[in-house]
Amino acid sequence: MKPILVVEDDPNDLELILISLERCRLANPVVTARDGVEALDFLTRRGDWAGRADEHPAVILLDKKLPRLDGHDVLKAIRKDDELRYVPVVMLTSSRQESDLLRSYELGVNAYVVKPVEFNDFLQAINDLGMFWAVLNEPVPRWPSMSARLATKGK
């Protein structure tokens, strides 16, 4: 099963997300990153993640406001990378600013979800996200690699 990558720096929000995903009873493993740099290290198999399996996440739940590298910068890097560009990214944030919403979609986010304030609403939102992206969504095929297929398509 493809992992779910959760990129969240707030320990309370991270705990709620993990509890919610556990309650979904998804078989997907959950990987966490505490900032944008750690997320990109995981995705590009650098540093501590150099030996991880060559499989991209089923979905990335990405906070907007992160230390070292914010969510928009992470999203921009993902969409520029030929191997990562089709990985679904959900911006999961507390920001209701229209400029953040518009910027996220301009950069290619698949969904923008404002974190609910109420506990049960938060749990339900994460449950819905987990079920949709990890179970219901049909991902882009990976074999042969997407970049190889695109390169040969024009020939």
* CATH at residue 46: 3.40.50.2300
| Inter-axis angle of helices 36-43 and 71-80, nearest 10 | 20
pLDDT value at 151 more than 60? no
Query: How many domains does the chain contain in total?
Result: 1
pLDDT value at 135 more than 60? yes
What H or E segment, with its residue span, contains residue 125? helix 119-131
pLDDT one-digit tens code per residue, 19-77: 988 888 888 899 999 999 999 999 999 999 999 988 899 999 999 999 999 999 999 99
pLDDT one-digit tens code per residue, 3-29: 999 999 999 999 999 998 888 888 889
Q: Residue 117 corresponds to which tokens in the numbers above?
A: 């304030």
- DSSP category for residue 30: E
Q: What is the pLDDT of residue 143?
A: 47
d(CA 77, CA 58): 17
What share of residues in the chain are helix, strand, coil (percent, to 5)? 45, 15, 40
Q: What domain range is 83 assigned to?
A: 4-153
Q: What is the pLDDT of residue 154?
A: 54
pTM of this prediction? Answer: 0.86
